[in-house]
């Protein structure tokens, strides 16, 4: 049996489906936590509630995740890793970056409080999903790392504000095209990175 699997009987009163769930694994915990996030929101997402969702005591989760923060990291990874792909052989770095930004934005915003989850988490391995393609495109190692931090933090900030606008029901929404605004932000980000790449290339020539 996998070291990540814990077989725990469901407490008395739990449904047969919960009792028959079988081994408790990291993917099962992460999925249950994401389902609960959609149901109750970030502020009410506790290990006790996640344990209740799975039919186990909350402390059982700590065999698989050393802390709630580590669980949040893996929840965020479950949202983002499927959409952060490597560039295709015939794809320019700027086209890849734009597509990746769009896909990650959609993935995060598809969940209640998804932006807050991403803001509260840290990336898990691999850590170079953004920086390596940029380095392959010609950025130095340091510039590629700096650019990846700029990109991810810009995205987090944009997602948080977008989420806040969507959830506020005490005031009328501001009248502007949110999709066009996001695309404008991507244009500015990519053009700025292209300028730095060209400057560095000219300096090295």
Structural domain boundaries, residue 102 = 86-204
Cα(177)–Cα(41) distance, integer angstroms: 26
93 and 32 in a common domain: no
- What is each CA distance from 108 to 78, 84, 117, 155, 160, in whole angstroms? 10, 12, 9, 10, 10
Assigned domain for 44 exists: yes
State mean pLDDT over 188-195. Answer: 96
* Tens digit of each residue's pLDDT (9 = 90 or more) over 99-154: 999 999 999 999 999 999 999 999 887 889 999 999 999 999 999 999 999 999 99
196 and 107 in a common domain: yes
55 and 119 in a common domain: no
The burial of 203, by beta-carbon neighbours within 10 Å (0-12 exposed, 13-18 middle, 19 or more buried), is given as: exposed
pLDDT at 173: 80
Assigned domain for 75 exists: no
Q: How many CB atoms lie within 10 A of CB 13?
A: 8
């Amino acid at each position: 049996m996998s070291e990540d699997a814990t077989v725990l009987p469901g407490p008395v009163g739990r449904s047969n489906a919960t009792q028959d769930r079988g081994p408790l694994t990291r993917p099962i915990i992460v999925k249950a936590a994401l389902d609960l996030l959609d149901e109750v929101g970030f502020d009410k997402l506790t290990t006790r509630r996640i344990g209740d969702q799975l039919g186990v005591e909350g402390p059982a989760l700590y065999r698989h995740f050393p802390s709630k923060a580590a669980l949040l990291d893996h929840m965020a990874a479950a949202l983002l890793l499927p959409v952060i792909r490597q560039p295709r052989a015939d794809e320019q770095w700027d086209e890849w970056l734009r597509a990746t930004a769009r896909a990650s934005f959609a993935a995060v915003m598809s969940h209640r409080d998804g932006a807050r989850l991403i803001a509260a988490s840290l990336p898990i391995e691999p850590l170079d999903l953004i920086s390596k393609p940029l380095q392959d495109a010609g950025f130095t190692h340091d510039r590629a790392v700096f650019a990846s931090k700029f990109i991810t933090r810009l995205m987090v900030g944009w997602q948080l504000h977008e989420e806040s606008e969507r959830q506020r029901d005490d005031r009328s929404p501001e009248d502007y095209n949110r999709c066009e605004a996001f695309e404008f932000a991507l244009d500015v980000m990519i053009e700025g990175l292209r300028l730095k790449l060209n400057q560095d290339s000219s300096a090295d020539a």
